[in-house]
Amino acid sequence: MFCNVPVEAVIVTRGSDGAEWISAGSEPLFVPSFPVTPIDTTGAGDAFWSGFLCAYLDGHHLYHCALAGRRMAEIKLQHFGPLPGKVDKRILYLDFQSEE
């Protein structure tokens, strides 16, 4: 239970320090960030969650969702302003495609 609400997992984002994925009955997992040269940090957190939710809605494991979120945040950090158009979700899944 998290805040008296049943949840499957809690993901805590830590900016350049990566993210931690915590699930009941499991050891916490750490999703490290990759070093990128940020051009614009505005919206990077929102970008993480958009990548995470995209993978979640596609039925991926929650840890893989966090990897997809990291990839989307990396894309956003390296782009000034809003992202133009759509991001191909296959790019988001590069970190774990071969594992599934």
| Structure token pair of residue 1 | 């239970």
C-alpha triplet 13, 69, 55: angle, nearest 5°: 130
Distance of CA 16 to the CA centre of its chain: 12
User: Nearest-CA neighbor of 11 among 22, 1, 3, 2?
Assistant: 22
Catalytically annotated residue among 17, 40, 46, 58 = 46
Residue 46 annotated as catalytic: yes
Residue 90 in 3-state DSSP? helix
Q: So which residues are the catalytic ones? A: 46
